[in-house]
Amino acid sequence: MITIKNLRASVEGKEILKGIDLEIKAGEVHAIMGPNGSGKSTLSNVLAGRADYEVTEGEVTFNGKNLLELAPEDRAREGVFLAFQYPVEIPGVSNINFLKTAINETREYKGQAPMEAKDFLALVKEKQHLVELDGKLANRSVNEGFSGGEKKRNEIFQMAMLNPSFSILDETDSGLDIDALKIVASGVNKLRTKDNAFLVITHYQRLLDYIIPDFVHVLYNGKIVKSGGKELALELEEKGYDEIKKQFETV
């Protein structure tokens, strides 16, 4: 699905990603853990196409296409989805209008006719139910005045609506209470198929009890320094990053 080779990226002249290699196949769930500031969100943003980051080296192939050449909207239309660590509030733009525009522009890109209004509303209803999002929230302005947890749930709602093939969840679990965490996780599990893939960024092993990853990677100082199975998350939870930090502390 996606192959990342020797990806290096900097912001304002400072290198953040220092050569990332990662391959994710359809049907897989990968988790990335790592201390604050190690570059997890930077990786997500670079994959989603945020302009602030300059890719200085490396390549990313997504379903055979050179992802880095595509505009952010085209990456989304091709099936890349980023659930933001900090979802943006957009006063005055209704969630519904926003999603309708997103879905129809994606359909247009694929040469499909716009979705019928009644089909769209039925889809909204179904997916709202999936993430147990309050109907009122769907009608409000995008994230405006949403609580931290509501914002995260709204990200998963959008993911369910857009049905991407590759989803990056950047700390979607932070700020969620236990019940919300279960709802979000079960939402993700229901969307999981053999044809799509997930990259789950988290600080807590807890989430991985619900969304069982096939691989766990540790990102430290802009590099993946360790990879393993789901037991790696447990080990990190227990020991913290001290050992890794010591081992990879460089200049």
Ligand X SMILES: Nc1ncnc2c1ncn2[C@@H]1O[C@H](COP(=O)(O)OP(=O)(O)OP(=O)(O)O)[C@@H](O)[C@H]1O
Interacting residues with other proteins (CB under 8 A): 48-51, 71-73, 75-77, 81-82, 84, 87-88, 90-93, 97-99, 101-103, 105-106, 109, 141-142, 158, 162
Q: Does 37 bind ligand X (CB under 6 A)?
A: yes
Of 36-44, 55-63, 106-114, 156-164, the window that binds Mg ion (rule: CB under 5 A) is 36-44
Within 8 A by CB and 6+ apart from 243, the residues are none
Dig out the tokens for 180 from the structure.
């919300």
> Which residue's CB is nearer to ligand X, number 16 or number 103?
16
Rounded CA-CA distance 191/155 in Å is 14
Q: How far is the CB of 141 from ligand X (least distance, A)?
A: 25
Q: Does 41 bind Mg ion (CB under 5 A)?
A: yes
Q: How far is the CB of 20 from ligand X (least distance, A)?
A: 12
Rounded CA-CA distance 236/239 in Å is 5
Q: Does 205 bind ligand X (CB under 6 A)?
A: no
Q: How far is the CB of 69 from Mg ion (least distance, A)?
A: 25
Strand 65-66, strand 223-228: pairing: unpaired
Site for ligand X in 74-103 (CB under 6 A): 85
String of contacts with ligand X for each residue 42-61, x by CB under 6 A: x---------x---------
What does 38 bind: ligand X, Mg ion, other proteins, none (CB cut-off 5 to 8 Å by kind)?
Answer: ligand X
Rounded CA-CA distance 209/230 in Å is 9
Rounded CA-CA distance 58/79 in Å is 21
Helix or strand (DSSP H, E) at 185: helix 178-191
Dig out the tokens for 215 from the structure.
């691989």
* Number of other CB atoms surrounding residue 251 within 10 Å: 2
> Which residue's CB is nearer to other proteins, number 141 or number 227?
141
Q: Does 245 bind ligand X (CB under 6 A)?
A: no
Helix axis angle for 117-130 and 148-162, nearest 10°, is 130
Identify any residues that bridge with 141 across adjacent strands, giving them in sequence order.
94
What does 39 bind: Mg ion, ligand X, other proteins, none (CB cut-off 5 to 8 Å by kind)?
Answer: ligand X
Rounded CA-CA distance 203/174 in Å is 8
Give contact residues for Mg ion (rule: CB under 5 A): 40-41, 85
Give contact residues for ligand X (rule: CB under 6 A): 11-12, 16, 34, 36-42, 52, 85
